[in-house]
Amino acid sequence: MSNIALITGITGQDGSYLAEFLLEKGYQVHGCFRRSSTNAFERIEHLTDKIELHCTDLLDQASLERLIAKIKPTEVYNLAAQSFVGSSWDQPILTGEVTGLGVTRLLEAIRMVDTSIRFYQASSSEMFGKVHETPQRETTPFHPRSPYGVAKAYGHWMTVNYRESYDMYACGGILFNHESPRRGLEFVTRKISDAVARIKLGLATEVRLGNLDARRDWGFAGDYVEAMWLMLQQDKPIDYVIGTGETYRVGDFVQIAFDRVGLNWEKHVVIDPKFYRPAEVDLLLADPMKAQEELNWKPKMSFQELVETMVDHDLQRLSALANTSLKVLRKSA
Ligand code: NAP
Ligand code: GDD
């Protein structure tokens, strides 16, 4: 029997890398997208003839149940979420509905249709919040600091609860921050790489940022989707921490990004209190030993390489855009 995967959040950063990864492994890949008035398929345009897309929403229980009954997946990866921590203070209820209760809706849909379906929940290091120990491991208590973190903690525990109550193969990957050229522009890494490219090309002069002292354990998203898949291939469902085991300041990311294009960051970065959070997660650092030993998983891309890859990508993208606009302008002149 062939493997059939259903990915919620396939239009997002991780969804696009996971779809590529599973196609390589020979899976039949299905993805959920939600109806939107603008095109949200930018990250998966190159895959649309290889995957099947279905319109559904984590807010709509019936649509999830119908879809699972129809396509009969062997594995479900729940990557859909209101995933931006900053917005979760503006929309705490929506964040709870999608990022928290959405997990239960999907688990219920699976339980109603077939409890042998394997389930991956995209849990988050944001659940550690005001950290109780460093580095953070699978046994570190949660102390979420944002409505997003609280919703993820709820979704994580529901996943554990369905595993324990119904003997389902359900597990939560507690992933630390992972980035890529496909990262949304609102997240700090991509905001910086995009701004550095704009400044280098003369399209902007400054970038406004918040807390440069926050520390994160940053890896490459393309490496992390393999860990998601590995978690669903074990004999038993177990939750794992996935990260690099290294932590850097937002300021370090800024420094490397500006260095890459030969500019002095101090001349272009403006600290703007608007980007400070009501409650900050000051330090995240993973202890990924369990995943390394039991899943044989290790990140491949270094922090420096990640920053430089993102800056190079945005430089190329924006140069191409600028060239096209110039050609159009010259033609119409
Ligand atoms: P992302 O790029 O923001 O993607 C989120 C996806 O969720 C998008 O496809 C989005 O669809 C979809 N979505 C949002 N609301 C939905 C709804 N009501 N119903 C159905 N789909 C909905 O996030 P990501 O970085 O790929 O992260 C993937 C998952 O991992 C998320 O759950 C995130 O919280 C979690 N996570 C991420 C990280 C990280 O560092 N990236 C770390 C730990 C955990 P649209 O395209 O329509 O917006
Ligand atoms: N977004 C943003 N914008 N963050 C800023 C800025 C800014 O202008 N200036 C400083 N920061 C700081 C934030 O205060 C935070 O401490 C850090 O940069 C990282 O912010 P984000 O890139 O928005 O990511 P996050 O760590 O809050 O959340 C991401 O990682 C989680 C895993 O720990 C998201 O991907 C979540 O979905 C994920 O669960």
146 alpha carbon, closest ligand:
2
Tell me which of 188, 215, 268 to substitute to probe ligand 2's pocket, judged by most ligand atoms within 8 Å of the beta carbon: 188
Question: 82 in ligand 1 pocket by Cβ < 6 Å?
Answer: yes
CB burial of 199-237 (b: ≥16 within 10 Å; e: otherwise) equals bbeeeeeebebbbbebbbbbbbbbbbbbbbbbbbeeeeb
Residue 289 lies in a domain: no
CA angle 129–33–309, rounded 5-degree value:
60
Paired tokens of 63: 């649509």
What separation in angstroms does the CA of 173 have from each of 98, 123, 176, 240, 286? 18, 5, 9, 5, 12
Residue 253 lies in a domain: yes
Residue 298 lies in a domain: no
Number of domains in the chain: 2
Residue 89 lies in a domain: yes
Give pTM, 2 decimals: 0.97
Tell me which of 6, 8, 14, 32 to substitute to probe ligand 1's pocket, judged by most ligand atoms within 8 Å of the beta carbon: 14
- DSSP assignment letter at 283: B
Give me the CATH number covering residue 199. 3.90.25.10
Q: Report the distance separating Cα 203 and Cα 315, nearest Å.
A: 11
Residue 296 lies in a domain: no
What is the extent of the structural domain holding 271?
188-215+247-283+303-324
Question: 15 in ligand 1 pocket by Cβ < 6 Å?
Answer: yes
Residues 28 and 56 in one domain: yes
Q: How far is the CA of 9 from the centre of ligand 1 (A)?
A: 5
With 0-12 / 13-18 / 19 or more C-beta atoms within 10 angstroms meaning exposed / middle / buried, residue 23 is middle
Pocket of ligand 2, beta carbon within 6 A? 83, 85-86, 124-126, 176-177, 186-189, 191, 209-211, 214, 216, 250, 275, 277, 280-281, 284
Among 308, 291, 297, 290, smallest CA distance to 253 is for 308
| Distance, CA of 71 to chain centre | 25
Residues 144 and 57 in one domain: yes
Residues 205 and 165 in one domain: no
Phi, psi of 74 (to 5 degrees): -90, -25
Nearest CA to ligand 2 atom 3: 188
Tell me which of 79, 177, 224, 247 to substitute to probe ligand 1's pocket, judged by most ligand atoms within 8 Å of the beta carbon: 79
124 in active site:
yes
Pairing type for strands 269-271 and 207-209 reads parallel
Residues 56 and 107 in one domain: yes
Residues 257 and 235 in one domain: no
Q: Report the distance separating Cα 242 and Cα 294, nearest Å.
A: 12
Q: How far is the CA of 187 from the centre of ligand 1 (A)?
A: 12
How high is the pLDDT of residue 19? 98
Give me the CATH number covering residue 113. 3.40.50.720
Q: Report the distance separating Cα 67 and Cα 79, nearest Å.
A: 16
Task: Point out the catalytic residue in the list 65, 126, 179, 226.
Answer: 126
How high is the pLDDT of residue 330? 74
Task: Point out the catalytic residue in the list 124, 125, 180, 193.
Answer: 124
How high is the pLDDT of residue 1? 60
Residue 331 lies in a domain: no
32 alpha carbon, closest ligand:
1
Classified as helix, coil or strand, 242 is strand
Residues 142 and 175 in one domain: yes
**pLDDT below 50 — which residues of the chain?**
none
Residues 205 and 222 in one domain: no
Length of the chain (residues):
333
Q: How far is the CA of 197 from the centre of ligand 2 (A)?
A: 20
How high is the pLDDT of residue 167? 96
Residues 222 and 210 in one domain: no
Residues 156 and 35 in one domain: yes
88 alpha carbon, closest ligand:
2
Q: Report the distance separating Cα 146 and Cα 277, nearest Å.
A: 9
Classified as helix, coil or strand, 87 is helix
Question: 7 in ligand 1 pocket by Cβ < 6 Å?
Answer: no
| Distance, CA of 107 to chain centre | 20
Q: Which residues pair with 314 in a beta bridge?
A: none
154 in active site:
no
Residue 294 lies in a domain: no
Q: Are 49 and 23 in contact (CB under 8 A)?
A: no
Residue 15 lies in a domain: yes
With 0-12 / 13-18 / 19 or more C-beta atoms within 10 angstroms meaning exposed / middle / buried, residue 185 is exposed
Residues 222 and 269 in one domain: no
Residues 76 and 195 in one domain: no
Residues 100 and 129 in one domain: yes
